[in-house]
Amino acid sequence: MFDQGSGDPLVVIPGIQGRWEWMRPALRALARDRRVISFTLPGDLGSGMTMDPALGFDVFVKQIDAVLDEARVDRAAICGVSYGGLIAVRYAAVRPERVSALILTSTPGPGWRPNARQARYIAKPWLSLPVFCVTALDRLSRELRTALPDWRARIGFTLAYVGDAVTAPTFPGLMARRVRLQQETPFHPDCQCIVAPTLVVTGDESLDLVVPVASTREYLQLIPGAQYAVMDRTGHLGMLTQPDRFAGILKEFLASRS
């Protein structure tokens, strides 16, 4: 578990890969202004929690309750990154008393469905792993050329990103299982139940090649009073390629809600 900084608590939920280590640059930047807590999703090494089929998607709700209780935090701002945003939506809907603010970062909309290529990955996650890695590197390189114009910064980022992937490995079968859970869960009703102040953050429409920006923007119509921020010249990895900028956006939003 990641737990650094002091002040008002912010819980950051990782994406489909499930590992907080992949968000390390953003977590450190955020921890300069507040206490930041993050964790590994259920089923992964080091999470301390299994994927209980009886709970369905609410296994994530149970985990966040446990994380907050262990940290002795009654109420916190919740930031969900990509798939983690769906978890944040569910948690804010069913635990409104524990959520002071909600941030959804490049999160698939409640009606998101995998495209044909993604469906193939989900159907055969291990067999699709080589192709997935090659296409992921292609998406990464296109975004990095814009987000990090300096070639030395791009090399440094890529080495660190690959290093995190090696030292904190993810499991394709578990990722596919998480997507299937998402497909079985209706999120539209949850959006109507959210009372926490909400910020929706995306990158450029042309650079996020993982989650369509239009899909993330659905939350602006579904969650009453939701605000919007765009990290231009970035895509799906804006919080990692430009962590200080991302932290500044969240700092401004959270300060305005204090």
Q: Tell me if residue 246 falls in helix, strand or coil.
A: helix
Mean pLDDT of 197-214: 93
In this model, does residue 200 exceed pLDDT 70?
yes
Mean pLDDT of 145-160: 87
Question: What is the C-alpha separation between 165 and 167, in angstroms, rounded?
Answer: 6
**How confident is the model over 161-174, as pLDDT tens digits?**
878 877 888 888 88
Residue 154, both tokens: 């791009």
Q: Tell me if residue 201 falls in helix, strand or coil.
A: strand
2-257: CATH homologous superfamily? Alpha/Beta hydrolase fold, catalytic domain (3.40.50.1820)
**How confident is the model over 67-79, as pLDDT tens digits?**
999 999 999 999 9
Q: Which of 167, 211, 132, 162 has the alpha carbon at shortest distance from 46?
A: 167
Residues facing 10 on adjacent strands: 36, 77
> What residue spans define the domains of the chain?
2-257
Question: What is the C-alpha separation between 156 and 144, in angstroms, rounded?
Answer: 11
In this model, does residue 81 exceed pLDDT 80?
yes
